[in-house]
Amino acid sequence: MSKERMLDIRRQNCNPMTLKVTYYKKPVFIHQGYMQWLWDVDGSRYLDLFAGVATVSVGHCHPKVLTAAEQQLKKLWHTTNIYIYPTLHEYCEKLASYLPDPLKVIYLTNSGSEANDLAMLMARLHTGNYDIITFRGSYHGGGPQTLGLTSNAAYKYPVASGLGCTNTMCPDVFRGPWGGSNCRDSPVQTIRDCSCAQGHCKANEHYIEQLRETLATSVPTRIAGFFAEPIQGVGGAVQYPKDFLKEAYRLVRERGGICIADEVQTGFGRTGSHFWGFQGHDIIPDMVTMAKGIGNGFPMGAVVTTPEIAASFARGVHFNTFGGNPVACAMASSVLDTIQEDKTQKVSLDVGTYLLKELAKLRDKYEIIGDVRGKGLMIGVEMVTDKTSRTPLPLGEMAEIFEDVKDMGVLIGKGGLYGQIFRIKPPMCITMEDADFFLAVFDKSLHNHMKKR
Ligand code: PMP
């Protein structure tokens, strides 16, 4: 029996049924990683353009981060934050210096779901209100509370589906108007190409109007919080019209709500032009949640908020055994230094801009690419049956292209409400040569696919 087959049997025996293996025709058995590269158990090398879902920020097993981890592992692994230890406080100080005033109080968690869960609790405690608003296409976590914030039905279970929720522990989530890659008038439109009744130029007003309507009809009184990703990640690199988030923040604050930027995917320079995604919208949130790129793959998350909101939260006792773990803090601190030293934000901007430009050429070449969008190294390629109907490409066809790209040595991601978006979110150490390699592979696989169609 092959090594892969044996591993697959072991996986099926003892791993949860909900675990989804991305390549089901021929799974990939990853064994090792270095910077933007991954190797499987047979020694085949892959260019990693998904970074463990936008998580490996500065590179797999980055030598500087590795050294920081090794040094900390020799000193102290764990105490919990009932003691004062320098690694934790030095890291928080450093992280705070990346955020504008008054966002200076930091709570460390172990994941993005935990961070959003905590942010939701803090928003409710601070405002005394209960209702939370999120957008269609959003992903904010997979726990019982955060599942209510996550919009994609694929991740949901009936007891935690937000609206219609029967479990009193679940949040009441009122879906905002934002349709992700979908406009109200058509299931597959993007804002850029919006041809809805109101027209592209009216898209912003159109969405704001929907938000007003939602606030007036679904949430008649005051609200606790509003979660939005500055660019939707799992939703498929969905961007908002200019000034939309700014106006949404104003409307939410008018109703007494706290505005939370979920930077789990967009943070740490991934969007290229800014360190945080919210900076691209000219807004300052009341809370920022983060995870993924913060630890370059080491489990970590954080909520950053204002002293005022933190004071409301301080009425109770909050405890998290592993949040702020010394090894996690040492690695995350090194990640911040590495982002500066390796100029990864600039890589994100330069390589990302190049990829967007070149992918747009492929969009013009192939009927089945409906849209290319995103910012920096947070890119979505929307696949459709044809440009006129813009019907999402069937999942079988998506899988074929996806597997073909992998067989030619490149790993990419998938997402979108209909599973129709290819997602490109590599470690931010990739080069222009890597980008060219991917573009050639993608072009070839699309060409192969069109021949078969
Ligand atoms: N927020 C966003 C924007 C995410 O993309 C994710 C994970 N995909 C989460 C929150 C949840 O993070 P985690 O999986 O670390 O709990």
Q: Which residues line ligand 1 (CB under 6 A)?
A: 53, 111-113, 116, 139-142, 229, 233-234, 262, 264-265, 291
- Are 96 and 173 in a shared domain? yes
Distance, CA of 197 to CA of 337 (rounded, Å): 49
DSSP 23-72: --SS---EEEEEBTEEEETT--EEEESSHHHHT--S-BT-HHHHHHHHHH
Looking at residue 13, its pLDDT comes to: 78
Choice between 83 and 167, residue whose per-residue pLDDT is larger = 83
Looking at residue 142, its pLDDT comes to: 85
Looking at residue 148, its pLDDT comes to: 75
Looking at residue 203, its pLDDT comes to: 56
- Are 224 and 362 in a shared domain? no
Number of domains in the chain: 2
Task: Using the Cα atoms of residue 227, residue 316, residue 99 and residue 114 in order, give the sign of their dihedral.
Answer: negative
- Are 89 and 220 in a shared domain? yes
What CATH number is associated with residue 31? 3.90.1150.10
Mean pLDDT confidence for 108-116? 97
Distance, CA of 270 to CA of 128 (rounded, Å): 34
Looking at residue 218, its pLDDT comes to: 61
Distance, CA of 255 to CA of 220 (rounded, Å): 9
pTM to 2 decimals?
0.92
Looking at residue 158, its pLDDT comes to: 52
Distance, CA of 278 to CA of 260 (rounded, Å): 10
How far apart are the CA of 294 and the centre of ligand 1, in A?
12
Lowest mean pLDDT among 19-23, 26-30, 51-55: 19-23
Best of 20, 56, 140, 287 to mutate for ligand 1, by most ligand atoms within 8 A of CB?
A: 140
The encoded tokens of residue 252 equal: 């939410």
What CATH number is associated with residue 114? 3.40.640.10
Q: Which atom of ligand 1 is nearest to the CA of 301?
A: 15
Burial class (CB in 10 A: 0-12, 13-18, 19+), 302: buried
Mean pLDDT confidence for 294-307? 98
Looking at residue 23, its pLDDT comes to: 82
- Are 77 and 25 in a shared domain? no
DSSP letter (8 states) at residue 145: T
Maximum Cα–Cα distance across the chain: 64
How far apart are the CA of 440 and the centre of ligand 1, in A?
31
Looking at residue 12, its pLDDT comes to: 77
Only one residue has tokens 């990703």, namely 229
Mean pLDDT confidence for 338-356? 98
Is the preceding peptide bond at 102 cis, omega within 30 degrees of 0? yes
Best of 149, 265, 414 to mutate for ligand 1, by most ligand atoms within 8 A of CB?
A: 265
- Are 337 and 347 in a shared domain? no
Distance, CA of 340 to CA of 352 (rounded, Å): 18
Q: Which atom of ligand 1 is nearest to the CA of 266?
A: 3
Mean pLDDT confidence for 401-428? 95
pLDDT at position 191 over 80: no
Give the domain-ending residue among 341, 357, 388: 341
Mean pLDDT confidence for 314-326? 92
Question: What percentage of the chain reaches a pLDDT higher than 90?
Answer: 62
How far apart are the CA of 3 and the centre of ligand 1, in A?
32
Looking at residue 202, its pLDDT comes to: 52
- Are 331 and 392 in a shared domain? no
Among protein residues, the one with the nearest Cα to ligand 1's atom 14 is 112
- Are 144 and 282 in a shared domain? yes
- Are 353 and 337 in a shared domain? no
Best of 264, 266, 290 to mutate for ligand 1, by most ligand atoms within 8 A of CB?
A: 264
Choice between 6 and 248, residue whose per-residue pLDDT is larger = 248
Distance, CA of 270 to CA of 342 (rounded, Å): 13
- Are 349 and 330 in a shared domain? no
How far apart are the CA of 435 and the centre of ligand 1, in A?
26
Distance, CA of 287 to CA of 309 (rounded, Å): 9
Only one residue has tokens 């106006």, namely 247
- Are 200 and 323 in a shared domain? yes
Lowest mean pLDDT among 22-26, 260-264, 267-271: 22-26
Residues making up the chain, counted from first to last: 453
Looking at residue 135, its pLDDT comes to: 80
Distance, CA of 280 to CA of 271 (rounded, Å): 9
Q: Count the helices and strands in the chain (H runs, E runs).
A: 12, 15
How far apart are the CA of 159 and the centre of ligand 1, in A?
20
Distance, CA of 350 to CA of 247 (rounded, Å): 30
Looking at residue 186, its pLDDT comes to: 30
Q: Calculate the CA 445 to chain-centre distance.
A: 26
Range of the domain at 130: 63-341
Give the domain-ending residue among 341, 368, 398: 341
Q: Of 207, 187, 392, nearest to 199 (Cα)? A: 207
Looking at residue 205, its pLDDT comes to: 66
Are 286 and 305 spatial neighbours (Cβ–Cβ below 8 Å)?
yes
Give the domain-ending residue among 321, 341, 361: 341
- Are 317 and 396 in a shared domain? no
pLDDT in tens, 374-411: 999 999 999 999 988 888 999 999 999 999 999 999 99
pLDDT at position 27 over 70: yes
Looking at residue 170, its pLDDT comes to: 36
DSSP letter (8 states) at residue 144: T
3-state class of 107 per DSSP?
A: strand
Averaged pLDDT of the chain: 86
Report the DSSP pairing between strands 301-305 and 369-375: unpaired
pLDDT at position 178 over 50: no
Distance, CA of 318 to CA of 299 (rounded, Å): 20
pLDDT in tens, 197-214: 434 445 566 677 777 776
Mean pLDDT confidence for 437-441? 98
How far apart are the CA of 403 and the centre of ligand 1, in A?
25
CA atoms within 13 A on the CB side of 175: 18
393-400 long-range contacts, Cβ below 8 Å, gap at least 24?
393/368, 393/420, 395/419, 397/368, 397/449, 397/453, 398/422, 399/24, 399/25, 400/449
How far apart are the CA of 441 and the centre of ligand 1, in A?
29
Give me the helix-helix angle, 244-254 and 203-217, nearest 10°: 20
* Confidence label for 355 from pLDDT (cuts 50, 70 and 90): very high
Looking at residue 192, its pLDDT comes to: 37
How far apart are the CA of 99 and the centre of ligand 1, in A?
20
DSSP letter (8 states) at residue 158: G
Beta bridge partners of 411: 48
Among protein residues, the one with the nearest Cα to ligand 1's atom 12 is 112
Distance, CA of 163 to CA of 175 (rounded, Å): 8
- Are 335 and 347 in a shared domain? no
